Structure 1
Amino acid sequence: MKHENPQSPPQVGILGPLEVRFTERSGSEVSVSGIRVRSLLAALTAQLGEAMSTERILKEVWADNRPTTDRKAVAVAVLRLRRVLGDREGQWLLTRPSGYVLAIPPDHLDAVRAERLVREGKAALAAGDPGMASQFLTRALAEWRGDPYADANATSTVVQRIIELEGLKAEAVQARIDADLDLGHHQELVGELRSLTAANPLHEPHWLQLMLALYRSGRQAEALAAYMTLRQALADNLGVDPGQQLQELHLRILRADAGLLTESATAVSP
């Protein structure tokens, strides 16, 4: 597939199936077809801006099915990826003595944008601005279209990046909920938090947020029941009690502590 060379670098998406877009034209999404091309793009995005040697590409893209003509196979895969990127002049996928470099601007990769927005959101939350924090974190979470690298081979480099991105998303969700709790959206959050605790019944931070949302919604008994549900699950599965912060929140809810109605959620959360 041939493309006109765009005026600016392509946008690349890895937070879901691999995606390449060009902002200058309509119908801008380009299919990243072929397992070798997808694997090469995945490997290069996992270490954006860093050179990847031919030997490393062979391990990442072909694994145990190493081709007999090593360098030629890599060169063909690079050529095909350049066509997908609309990169006839070698502007975005560079050839260096040390290997190949994906050299699109960092903000043209959705994962980098998400990381920046999460940092900005958490900084705003720490600075006492939950409204701005919620906006940043909501925008960060909107970058996800599905599981990271959904249609790429799970090579060692890609798997490590997937782990990092899953952790980033979990941080973003938790921080966004804290921001929305501080904005007074506790009633709207109860349903989401029930879904999150059902999906991961041993993840204490979301149980703490659920208890706080229920208590602030005037549902003290349900907040206490949520604690008992978690306590039983932890005892049955791990043989442990809830953490200290959950225990303290439980006691404060038992005492109908009015301070919980106005205290910042980040001061209560782990």
Structure 2
Amino acid sequence: MHRRTIESSILFVAFTTWACTTLAATDADAPMPSAMDQRVRACTSCHGVQGQGRDNDYFPRIAGKPADYLFNQLIAFRDGGRTYPPMGYLIAFLPDDYLHKISEYFANLQPPYPNADTGNISPAVLQYGERLVTHGDPARKLPACAACHGARLTGAQPGIPGLLGLHASYIAGQMGTWRSGTRHAVAPDCMHAIAVKLTDKDITAVSSWLARQPRPDDPRPASSSDGTLPLACGSQPQ
């Protein structure tokens, strides 16, 4: 059995255990714990005690991201927009109002950022990644990442996530799922429209450069986007 398959099986068992505990707490005959830090233990057991993320491809940083973004992702896992069985099982029967509370809890946290990636990547690849992130590629009608995710790349309210504090392998993996269509959002799905134009070289360069950026002085999402988004996104108000 492949290592990733074994890891997924172990994670599924762990999530199943947590899911049963969490869902039991939502039963009408079993009162919820009073503190949110107890209610989100199923989340923090994998994403870190403050949602700071883990050093692997499975559990990214969720702390500090806009609440609407986090809520949209929980809905996607619950309703099939994103496919990861442990997450889907964990929240399969959680109502929207509870998912809103979870999202707001993590949106209000700002734990330290992880150390930046330090793998051996050529300067040319990193320069190319920086160019795509900050300027895009007009010839291919590829907008800059910063055009939506903000000049500081910390995201924007109400629902655009930051791109910093994530490992290159996680960023590249998510770009691959957007490109293949196994991850999708409300139509028009702007990330899929962008990702299908990206080559493997593009994804490696962008993810490698982003993962090497230091924590910004102000890691909070901007209060709003810098202006009109370069293309319509069904998940974002225009």
- Same fold, TM exceeding 0.5? no
More helix by share: 1
- TM-score, length of structure 1 as denominator length: 0.23
More strand by share: 1
In terms of Rg, which structure is larger? 1
Higher relative contact order (CA 8 A, sep 6+): 2
- TM-score, length of structure 2 as denominator length: 0.25
